[in-house]
Amino acid sequence: MSEVPNVNLFVGYVNDITGLAENDEYMKLYGEKRKFYSSENSNDYLKYVQTGSNEVVDYVEYSGNLEKSHGAFNQYGLLNEKQMRNLRKELRSTKSVIWHGVISFTEKFGNEFCGSYEMAYEMMKREMPKFLDSCNLNPKNVVWFAGLHENTDNKHIHFSFFEKSPQRYRKGKEELCYSDGLLPIQSINRAKVSMELTLTSIPKDISNNRNLLTEDMKNKLETGAYMKTLNSLIIILPREGRMQYDSENMKSYRPYIDLITNTIISHNEDLSKKFMDFQRMLSIRDSEVMKAYSKLKLDGSKELIRDKCLQDIYRRLGNMVLFTVKKIRFEQDKQNYETNNRLRLKRIEKQKRKILLKRCFQLNELVNQELISAFEEYRNKLTQINYARLREEGYLD
């Protein structure tokens, strides 16, 4: 009994049907299939790759039921909405053959070596150019996308690709032509072996560490580090009036805003240490200034900057929190506006949570960047204000 290979690769294709009449025999046989893969229909192949399916799709004979997708990606990573729209435009307009296929794994191998988006992405990024090249296709002239799917049986990757422009010379043709759909069986067989070797050689610790880092951050947010407070702020903040941290309109909400800022800082060990060091530096500076003015028997309280700096920092970071609230409100309101169908409410609430989580990640980055920028800015200012002159004149130790 022959051993089942760990990796299997199946590839099919659909030809261009431009110019064919509806009653053409070829159109009758393959027209709907081309429309499915070229995104002419709302339920197209790209949507299937992106989201998975709860139904058996007629045109994807090798698909299983209840598939869950990790999202569509290309060589640059996961596709966002704008990239998906552009890809659909390209699919609808191309005259190229559209290839489609699936890479399937045995259950044990798939779970161990292709159990995450990161692993699937890394493998496809490395292997797709090699596969295309071995099929005598120019990798730089090919658009491809893929998605990792999983069901109760096994994990597998659906993919599709097409040529950007015609590059083949054909006998009797004056213009360049697109490739036909036939691919060498030797290239397909070699790709199976190469994909297996690549998957087993991808450093698992890199993928796992990336996953753990993402999951750790996600867990902190979802278990209430500050996500609940931010969600409450979205609900209670007024929708009218000036929405700036230092405005009278926001006065009673500043404790909530500061709580979010402090939580973001405290959950980043490196940033928290820098923030403490910065406050310590300001305190030392104020202490030196007070000593200097005391020697001169003058009141130096107006020259103290620690509290002023911190107030300004919280104002700047608070405005970022409020900016994030505006963004989340806009995107969540858009979700509400786009449907009146009660059956979709559960899905909409899930999408709202995704919006909130996504914006929380972005807010973390914004606060990190702004705080570091503020530290540098204030350090520069410290060299310019009057206590430098006092030091030069010998009043400061």
Average pLDDT over residues 376-384: 67
- pLDDT above 70 coverage of the chain, percent: 79
Q: Classify residue 210: in a domain, yes or no.
A: no
Q: Classify residue 214: in a domain, yes or no.
A: no
Q: Classify residue 397: in a domain, yes or no.
A: no
Using CA atoms, how far residue 238 sits from 249, 259, 321, in Å, is 8, 18, 15
Report whether pLDDT(397) > 60.
Answer: no
Task: Tell me which of 72 and 66 has the higher pLDDT.
Answer: 72
**187 and 233 both lie in a single domain:** no
Q: Classify residue 219: in a domain, yes or no.
A: no
- The pLDDT, as a whole number, for residue 3 is 62
**131 and 256 both lie in a single domain:** no
Report yes or no: 71 and 78 within 8 Å, Cβ to Cβ: yes
Q: Classify residue 215: in a domain, yes or no.
A: no
Task: Tell me which of 274 and 205 has the higher pLDDT.
Answer: 274
Look over the chain and give the mean of its residue pLDDT values, rounded to a whole number.
Answer: 80
**275 and 237 both lie in a single domain:** yes
Report whether pLDDT(285) > 70.
Answer: yes
Q: pLDDT (tens digit, 9 = 90+) per residue, 145-198? A: 999 998 656 889 999 999 999 999 888 888 999 999 999 999 999 999 999 988
Q: Classify residue 22: in a domain, yes or no.
A: yes
The pLDDT-based confidence of 98 (bands split at 50, 70, 90) is very high
Q: Which of 9-13, 243-247, 256-260, 350-354 has the lowest mean pLDDT?
A: 350-354
Report whether pLDDT(381) > 70.
Answer: no
**265 and 124 both lie in a single domain:** no
CATH number of residue 130's parent domain = 3.30.930
**259 and 357 both lie in a single domain:** yes
Q: pLDDT (tens digit, 9 = 90+) per residue, 43-55? A: 899 999 988 765 4
Euclidean distance between CA atoms 290 and 54, whole angstroms = 71
- The pLDDT, as a whole number, for residue 389 is 54
Nearest to 4 by CA among 194, 186, 192: 192
**152 and 283 both lie in a single domain:** no
- pLDDT above 90 coverage of the chain, percent: 29
Average pLDDT over residues 278-296: 81
Beta bridge pairs of residue 104: 8, 156
Count of structural domains, the chain: 2
- The pLDDT, as a whole number, for residue 229 is 77
Its domain, for residue 27, covers 7-202
Beta bridge pairs of residue 143: 162
Q: pLDDT (tens digit, 9 = 90+) per residue, 323-368? A: 888 888 888 877 766 555 555 666 777 777 777 777 776 777 777 6
Q: pLDDT (tens digit, 9 = 90+) per residue, 205-251? A: 444 544 544 455 455 444 456 677 788 888 888 888 888 999 998 99
Q: Which of 31-35, 134-138, 179-183, 374-378 has the lowest mean pLDDT?
A: 374-378
**143 and 180 both lie in a single domain:** yes
- The pLDDT, as a whole number, for residue 170 is 84
Q: pLDDT (tens digit, 9 = 90+) per residue, 310-327? A: 888 888 888 888 888 888
Which of 167, 202, 237 corresponds to the end of one domain?
202
